[in-house]
Amino acid sequence: MMKTKLTLLFIALVGAVNFVSAQATEECVTTMSIFSEHAKVKNYDAAYEPFMKLRKECPTTSFALYQYGERILKHKIDNSTGAEQVAFLEDLKKMYQEKKTHFAAKTNEGEDIADVATIMYDSKIGTASEQYAQFNKAWDTDRATFTNAKGLYEYFVVAVELQEAGEIELQEVFDMYDKVQEKITEEQDGYAKRMETILEKKEAGTDLTAQEKRLEQVAEVNLDNYSKVSAGINQKLGVLADCDRLVPFYESAWEAKKSDVAWVKGAAGRLVSKECTDSPLFVKLVEQLNTLEPSAETSYYLGRLAEQRGENANALKYYEESANRQTDPAKKAKVFYQLAENFRKKGSLSNARSYYQKAVAAKPSMGIVYLKIADMYASSANSCGDSVFNKRAVYWLAADMASRAGRIDPSLSGVADKTAAAYRGLAPDRTMIFNAGNAGQRISFNCWIGGSVTVPNL
């Protein structure tokens, strides 16, 4: 009877998601209950002794042992120094291994190893080289679960610090930048896809479920974090990779590396990303790459060169060729965006929107696309609709697009919010809606914009 009561108490404390092993002994359940009571109220010092006992004697009692144990050991690390702090960090590593042994299906190894690296960096434990090695271990062991935005930023920062100290080459920093930004884009795209579905429901006036509201909050937080980290990494790289430094760096290695396809491709890509394409070196790199390995990248670079020379027809041909060849979603999105810009500048707005949509389909976190579409909608307001009211109703559609840009890419939220507010100010006001008597009705657009919008209720 006593064992049953203790088990029920324990389950209530740790929660239904953290199951209790069927083999848990009465003593294990009692100790776990005491441990959980202390841990739940963040009395980590009191929880430490039963935690250590459970690890030794009852390691499979509950996954909660490791969830709370992580917090306990981090508390110990934060409140110790010197050899004692290092010992607690080593024990955290050991605990993560124990978690993997007993609850492998619930363990994200990359996340755990990166967590150790982040603690080392934040607490200044070990040398920069040792911190870097720990981050590398997380990346190489389980890249998929190395998703912590702060950890990805610190990973790159340590690489920059080592390069500045002369311990690693500049090229390694460039390679690091590429892989970390690629990872950030992957995570952003995942959250952006979820956010896009939610925004479509909201724009259609459909209420969100409680689960969708939670997903929206999680997506917003993560999109904001990744946006800030991406900007921080770009800022760190900016010092090392402006055109004045990049061009001589690659020029000096040209003769030795010009037959190395990977090097030529990387150099050309770096010059494009930093807008150094007016350099004679860029022309040389593109021509060499097109000789060594014609590809989606070479077609894109040839398009850039043609555009710089004012050869728009040739630029368009090369960009189309690049998009058709490209398999990498982020790079495909970049090509589609360039095509969209080309059509927009020519006034071919329907084609521009089509390519903007292809860009965001390939890279869902490309929020700038929605600002561009919003601008095209607003510029077409006077030519859409058969009445003053309906023409101005286009601005509601433009405002929705602008708002979406900021939700998908938080780095654009400032300009997106201002743009959306400006467009809503141009849309029909309450007096116009009252006089028209069409509150809550749908207005369809028969111009190139198409689609429809709901008139707000008064």
For the cut 70, the answer to whether the pLDDT of residue 394 exceeds it is yes
Same domain, 230 and 116: yes
Is residue 330 domain-resident? no
Q: Quick check: 281 and 250 in contact, CB under 8 A? A: yes
Q: What is the pTM of this model?
A: 0.76
Mean pLDDT score, 26-49: 93
Q: Which of 187, 209, 240 is the last residue of a domain?
A: 240
What percent of the chain has a predicted confidence (pLDDT) above 90? Answer: 74
Q: How confident is the model at residue 242, as a pLDDT?
A: 85
The pLDDT tens digits for 408-445 are: 999 999 999 999 999 999 999 999 999 989 999 999 99
User: Per the structure block, which two tokens stand in for 287?
Assistant: 């021509």
Q: What is the pLDDT of residue 24?
A: 56
- Assess if residue 350 is contained within a domain: no
Residues 98 and 168 in one domain: no
CATH no. for residue 184? Answer: 1.25.40
- Which run of H or of E encompasses 44? helix 44-57
CB atoms within 10 A of CB 166: 7
Tokens read off for 391: 């023409």
Q: Is the residue at 228 inside a domain?
A: yes
Which strand (E) or helix (H) includes residue 193?
helix 170-203
Please check whether residues 162 and 93 belong to one and the same domain: no
Question: Residue 63: inside a domain, yes or no?
Answer: yes
Q: Whole-angstrom Cα distance, residue 263 to residue 254?
A: 9
162 plus 77 within the same structural domain: no
Q: Is residue 344 scored above 90 in pLDDT?
A: yes
**C-alpha angle 16-44-133 in degrees, rounded to nearest 5:** 90
Do 102 and 129 sit in the same domain of this protein?
Answer: no
42 and 147 share one domain: no
**Which 3 state secondary structure label does DSSP give 453?**
strand
Report how far residue 24's alpha carbon sits from residue 65's, in angstroms, rounded to the nearest whole number: 13
Residues 210, 115 share a domain: yes
**408 in a structural domain:** yes
Co-location of 114 and 209 in the same domain: yes
Contact 131, 89 (CB under 8 A): no
Condensed to tens digits (0 to 9), the pLDDT of residues 272-331 reads 888 888 889 999 999 999 999 999 989 999 998 998 888 988 988 999 899 989 999 998
Tell me: do 58 and 154 sit in the same domain.
no
Residue 379 lies in a domain: yes
Q: What tokens does 166 get?
A: 């002369």
Which alpha helices (DSSP H) does 241-367 contain, by range? 243-257, 261-273, 280-292, 296-308, 312-325, 329-346, 349-362
Nearest CA-CA partner of 184 in 239, 219, 136, 233: 233
CB 337 within 8 A of CB 369: yes
Which of the listed residues 107, 128, 150 is the one where a domain comes to its end? 107
Closest CA to 358 of 376, 381, 377, 338: 338
Q: Residue 355 pLDDT more than 50? A: yes
Q: Are residues 97 and 166 in the same domain?
A: no
Dihedral pair phi/psi, residue 443, rounded to 5°? -115, 125
96 and 52 housed in the same domain: yes
pLDDT tens per residue across span 3-24: 444 444 444 444 433 444 444 5
Using a 10 angstrom Cβ sphere, with 0-12 exposed, 13-18 middle and 19 or more buried, the burial of residue 324 is: exposed
pLDDT bucket at 197, cuts 50 / 70 / 90: confident
Q: Are 111 and 141 in contact (CB under 8 A)?
A: no
Helix axes 280-292, 261-273, angle to 10 degrees: 140
- Count of structural domains, the chain: 3
Domain closes at, from 81, 107, 133: 107
Q: How much is the pLDDT for 415?
A: 95
pLDDT at position 19 is 42
Whether residue 6 is found in the same domain as residue 99: yes
By the 8 A CB rule, do 72 and 47 touch? yes
- Residue span of the structural domain in which 437 resides: 369-458
Q: Confirm whether 378 is domain-assigned.
A: yes
pLDDT 10s digits, 112-129? 999 999 999 999 999 999
**Mean pLDDT of the region 369-381:** 96
User: 38-88: per-residue pLDDT in tens?
Assistant: 999 999 999 999 999 999 999 998 999 999 999 999 999 999 999 999 999
447: which 2 tokens?
Answer: 């111009």
Mean confidence (pLDDT) of the chain: 90
88 part of a folded domain: yes
Q: What is the pLDDT of residue 13?
A: 45
Q: What is the CA radius of gyration of the chain?
A: 28
